[in-house]
């Protein structure tokens, strides 16, 4: 999906069984939370189900079915996502200048 589609839909998180590295890096750079499930959730969840993610517990909760699913920890990507993307993270950590050129 092109970047503008992700942003226009206000995607906050994507949950998959696994990711290609380039896809993972691109979404982390855009500050989209990428979560990996321990199984195929597409076989368990349906369009329209209401779900929430509890990051501290690494859980996805499907409120429609009442089921809970274990997620893998997000690791180092969390600090980049929390900062608002790769450039915001680089500015925050001093990797690049935060001064705006005139």
pLDDT tier at 10, thresholds 50, 70, 90: low
pLDDT in tens, 34-81: 888 988 888 888 888 999 888 889 899 999 999 999 998 887 777 887
> Which CATH homologous superfamily contains domain 3-92?
Aconitase, domain 4 (3.20.19.10)
Round to whole Å and give the CA distance between 85 and 77: 10
* Residue in the block written with tokens 């839909």: 9
In the chain, domain spans: 3-92
pLDDT tier at 4, thresholds 50, 70, 90: very low
List the beta bridge partners of residue 70: 59
């Amino acid at each position: 999906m092109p970047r503008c589609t992700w942003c226009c839909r206000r995607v906050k998180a994507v949950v998959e069984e696994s990711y290609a590295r380039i896809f993972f890096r691109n979404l982390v750079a855009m500050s989209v939370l990428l979560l990996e499930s321990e199984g195929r959730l597409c076989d368990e969840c349906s369009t329209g189900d209401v779900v929430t993610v509890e990051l501290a517990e690494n859980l996805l909760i499907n409120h429609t079915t009442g089921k809970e699913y274990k997620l893998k920890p997000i690791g180092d990507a969390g600090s980049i996502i929390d900062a608002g993307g790769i450039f915001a993270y680089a500015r925050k950590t001093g990797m690049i200048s935060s001064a705006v050129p005139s």
